[in-house]
Amino acid sequence: MSSCIAGPRHEAHQFLRHRRPPTAKAADKKQEYADRAIELLHKAIKPGYHDAAHMAKDKDLDGLRERDDFKKLLAELEAAAQSKTKEPRHG
């Protein structure tokens, strides 16, 4: 995996895994970090990260699983993977 693809994905993991807001506004911060993680996952996918199977079971992404935008992102990746396996091979 190239660093340009792993970078945003890794950064998304960092927001979910290591950032624990210590203040009374923890819920707001948690939402902010989750929003940023989704943004970074989209950024990782643009240049070519498409491992939907890994994202589906990656424990670091558990904090996003109930979000509609994460479900949609994962469904889109899975659909793209399905269509790639059905494309006719040339050659």
**Residue (of 11, 80, 4, 82) closest to 47 by Cα position:** 4
Residue 62 — pLDDT band, cuts 50, 70, 90? very high
Q: Which two tokens stand for residue 16?
A: 């979910």
Q: From CA 61, how far away is CA 66, in angstroms rounded?
A: 10
**Coarse DSSP helix, strand, coil percentages of the chain, rounded to the nearest 5 percent:** 75, 0, 25
pLDDT score at 3 = 43
pLDDT score at 26 = 77
User: Is the pLDDT at 87 greater than 80, yes or no?
Assistant: no
pLDDT digits (tens, 9 = 90+) for 15-49: 666 655 556 577 888 889 999 999 999 998 888 88
User: Is the pLDDT at 2 greater than 60, yes or no?
Assistant: no
